[in-house]
C-alpha cells in the first residue's frame, strides 16, 4: 500500500530522474508537464500506441458467465516521431478505481492518469516486420502497470500487446466509459482458482493471436507483426499465464515469468524446447523459497532456461509502481530502488527476447557480471 500511496503524492512533488543505461537514444517527445515520468526507452525507435477492444463471442467470461469474454489491449509499436499527443498512463476512472481498490482516502483521482509516458497516440508506424510480445499484468493490476516495459520493447523494435483481462483488475475502462471492475476478486475470495485465471488468460492469449495474426486481423497495423516470432511475459499471475499460454499454443515461442506463482500450469512434459526466463525476487521465488512452484517448474523446463533473482526486490519491483513512488519521494519497502528495479527488468526481459526472437546473442544472459543486483541460480 505504501507504494501506491506514494504514487498518489506525485501530483504535488517534483520529478527526479531515473538513471538508465543506454546503447542508443530513442527520439524524445516534447517535455511533459507530468509530475512523475516513466523512464525514457533506450531503443532507437520512437513509440506509438493505440488501443484495441476484442470480444470473443464464442467464449463466456469465467467471472460473469452471462457475458462474452472481452479484452482491452494497448498496442505499442515502432513509430515515426510525429509531434502528437502523449498517450495517457491511465484514465481518470481507472485511477479512481485503483485508489479505491487499495483503500486509500483523500487521494486525487488524477494521480495515476497524470503520470508521464513516452508513447505518442496513433503515431505513424515505421515500416517493417517485428516480433510480437504479449504482456499480462498481475491480479488486480491494470495493464498500465507494465507501461515502462511496453515502451522499452517497442523502442527496440517489437510490437507489444499489453492486455487487460476483463473482470480481473481494480478497473479497466472500455470505450464509451463502460467500466470493468474486479469481479474475479470476489470469486477468488469465495474459493475460486488462480489456476483457472491463468488458464483463462492462456485462452485469452490464443484468441488475441488469432485476431492479431490471422486472416481477419483486427488491428490496422497487423502487417507489422512477424507471426513466426511471438513471445509472452507477465507479472505475478500474468507470468504464470505466459507459461500456461505456451502450454496450449505453440505460436508462443518464448516466455518470461516475473515473480508469479506458476499455479501448476507447466505440464509434466514441459514446454518442449522453447526458452523460458524465470525472473524473481528474494525469498518468495528464489530456489528453495516460499513458493515451491518455481522449483517444480524449473525441473519441467527442458529448453533453454534461466532463473535469475533481483537481489533486494519484492513482488512490486517488476511493475512501474516502485519507480513512480520513488520519484514522489516515498520509496517502497524493497531494498532495491524502484527505478533501478524497472531498469533491470527492462534490460533482462529485452535481452531475453532479443536473443530468442531476434537471434541476437546476449552475453548478460550467461553471466550478468556487470549487474551486482542480479543473481544467477543453478538449482
* Average confidence (pLDDT) over 267-285: 95
CA–chain centroid gap for 176, Å, is: 25
The pLDDT tens digits for 111-124 are 778 899 999 999 99
- The whole-number pLDDT of residue 15 equals 31
Question: What confidence tier does 193 reach under pLDDT thresholds 50, 70, 90?
Answer: confident
- Tell me the three cell numbers of residue 69: 469474454
The pLDDT tens digits for 170-191 are 999 999 989 999 999 988 888 7
253 with 227: CB under 8 angstroms? no
- The whole-number pLDDT of residue 34 equals 57
- Tell me the three cell numbers of residue 275: 526458452
The pLDDT tens digits for 127-158 are 999 999 999 999 999 999 999 999 999 999 99
- Tell me the three cell numbers of residue 366: 550467461
Report the number of secondary-structure helices (H) and strands (E) in the chain: 9, 12
CA distance 342 to 39: 9
- The whole-number pLDDT of residue 104 equals 64
pTM over 0.75: yes
- The whole-number pLDDT of residue 216 equals 84
- The whole-number pLDDT of residue 3 equals 44
Question: What confidence tier does 107 reach under pLDDT thresholds 50, 70, 90?
Answer: low
What share of residues in the chain are helix, strand, coil (percent, to 5)?
A: 30, 25, 45
Q: Is the pLDDT of residue 8 over 70?
A: no
320 with 39: CB under 8 angstroms? no
- Tell me the three cell numbers of residue 85: 499527443
Beta strands in 247-373 (DSSP E): 254-258, 276-281, 305-310
Q: Is the pLDDT of residue 341 over 60?
A: yes
* Average confidence (pLDDT) over 333-361: 96
What domain count does the chain have? 1
Alpha helices for the chain (secondary structure H): 2-8, 92-101, 147-155, 183-189, 194-213, 237-248, 292-300, 321-327, 338-357
CA distance 94 to 75: 18
Q: Is the pLDDT of residue 201 over 90?
A: yes
The pLDDT tens digits for 242-264 are 999 999 999 999 999 999 999 99
- Mean pLDDT over all residues of the chain? 88
Longest Cα–Cα distance of the chain, Å, equals: 53
Q: Is the pLDDT of residue 99 over 90?
A: no
The pLDDT tens digits for 40-86 are 999 999 999 999 999 999 999 999 999 999 999 999 999 999 888 99
Question: What confidence tier does 218 reach under pLDDT thresholds 50, 70, 90?
Answer: very high
72 with 172: CB under 8 angstroms? yes
Q: Is the pLDDT of residue 22 over 80?
A: no
pLDDT above 90: percentage of residues in the chain: 73
CATH number of 9's domain: 3.40.50.1820
User: What is the span of the domain harbouring residue 172?
Assistant: 2-377
Amino acid at each position: 500500500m505504501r507504494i501506491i500511496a506514494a504514487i498518489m503524492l506525485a501530483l504535488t512533488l517534483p520529478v527526479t530522474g531515473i538513471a538508465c543505461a543506454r546503447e542508443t537514444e530513442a527520439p524524445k517527445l516534447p517535455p511533459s508537464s507530468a509530475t512523475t515520468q516513466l523512464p525514457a526507452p533506450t531503443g532507437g525507435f520512437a513509440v506509438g500506441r493505440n488501443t484495441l477492444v476484442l470480444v470473443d463471442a464464442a467464449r463466456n467470461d469465467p467471472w460473469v458467465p452471462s457475458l462474452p469474454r472481452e479484452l482491452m489491449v494497448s498496442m505499442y509499436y515502432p513509430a515515426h516521431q510525429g509531434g502528437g499527443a502523449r498517450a495517457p498512463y491511465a484514465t481518470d476512472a481507472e485511477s479512481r478505481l485503483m485508489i479505491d481498490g487499495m483503500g486509500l482516502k483523500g487521494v486525487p483521482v488524477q494521480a495515476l492518469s497524470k503520470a508521464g509516458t513516452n508513447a505518442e497516440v496513433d503515431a505513424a508506424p515505421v515500416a517493417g516486420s517485428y516480433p510480437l510480445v504479449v504482456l499480462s499484468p498481475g491480479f488486480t493490476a491494470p495493464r498500465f502497470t507494465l507501461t515502462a516495459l511496453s515502451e522499452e520493447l517497442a523502442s527496440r523494435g517489437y510490437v507489444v500487446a499489453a492486455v487487460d483481462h476483463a473482470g480481473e483488475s481494480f478497473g479497466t475502462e472500455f470505450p464509451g466509459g463502460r467500466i470493468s471492475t474486479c469481479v474475479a476478486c470476489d470469486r477468488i475470495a469465495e474459493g475460486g482458482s488462480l489456476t483457472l485465471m491463468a488458464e483463462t488468460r492462456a485462452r485469452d492469449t490464443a484468441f488475441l493471436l488469432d485476431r492479431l495474426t490471422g486472416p481477419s486481423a483486427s488491428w490496422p497495423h497487423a502487417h507489422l507483426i512477424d507471426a513466426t516470432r511471438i513471445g509472452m511475459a507477465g507479472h505475478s499471475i500474468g507470468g504464470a499465464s505466459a507459461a500456461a499460454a505456451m502450454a496450449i499454443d505453440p505460436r508462443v515461442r518464448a516466455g518470461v515469468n516475473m515473480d508469479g506463482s506458476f499455479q501448476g500450469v507447466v505440464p509434466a512434459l514441459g514446454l518442449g524446447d522453447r526458452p523460458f526466463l524465470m525472473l524473481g525476487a528474494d525469498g518468495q521465488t528464489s530456489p528453495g523459497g516460499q513458493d515451491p512452484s518455481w522449483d517444480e517448474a524449473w525441473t519441467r523446463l527442458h529448453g533453454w532456461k534461466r532463473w535469475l533473482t533481483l537481489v533486494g526486490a519484492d513482488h512490486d519491483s517488476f511493475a512501474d509502481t516502485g519507480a513512480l513512488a520513488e520519484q514522489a519521494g516515498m520509496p517502497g519497502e524493497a531494498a532495491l530502488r524502484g527505478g533501478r528495479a524497472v531498469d533491470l527488468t527492462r534490460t533482462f526481459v529485452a535481452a531475453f527476447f532479443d536473443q530468442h526472437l531476434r537471434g541476437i546473442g546476449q552475453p548478460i544472459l550467461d553471466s550478468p557480471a556487470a549487474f551486482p543486483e542480479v543473481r544467477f541460480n543453478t538449482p
